Amino acid sequence: MKLKGGEYLEALRERGRAIGLELVDADWKTAAQHVTYRFKCIHTKAEVKPRNYNSVFLGYNGCDCDEHRRPRV
């Protein structure tokens, strides 16, 4: 039996990895604008400001570490 929202949660996890974040939450909630998910920076291992589903897919990492502040080439 598939977990509810499993595909969306995996997509969120993959997109987070692409922008340097690791998903902390293990359960799917919803993609609604007011619902946030917890992430931590893969460089510092510190939790960052919670992000909603859309902000992660738009590429907003919300981290202020040196690696994330460095412009992408």
At residue 13, the pLDDT reads: 94
Q: pTM (2 decimals)?
A: 0.81
Residues 19-24, mean pLDDT to the nearest whole number: 92
- What is the domain count for the chain? 1
- Per the structure, the complete domain to which residue 62 belongs is given by 6-69
Q: What angle do CA 37, 41, 45 make, to 5 degrees?
A: 110
How far is Cα 40 from Cα 5, in angstroms, rounded to an integer? 21
Which residues on neighbouring strands pair with residue 18, listed in sequence order?
none
* 61 in a structural domain: yes
* 29 in a structural domain: yes
How far is Cα 1 from Cα 54, in angstroms, rounded to an integer? 27
* 1 in a structural domain: no
pLDDT tens per residue across span 23-62: 999 888 888 889 999 999 999 999 999 999 999 989 887 7
Distance, C-alpha 62 to centroid of its chain = 9
At residue 67, the pLDDT reads: 83
Q: Which helix (H) or strand (E) holds 6?
A: helix 6-18
Identify the band that residue 4 occupies on the pLDDT scale cut at 50, 70 and 90. low
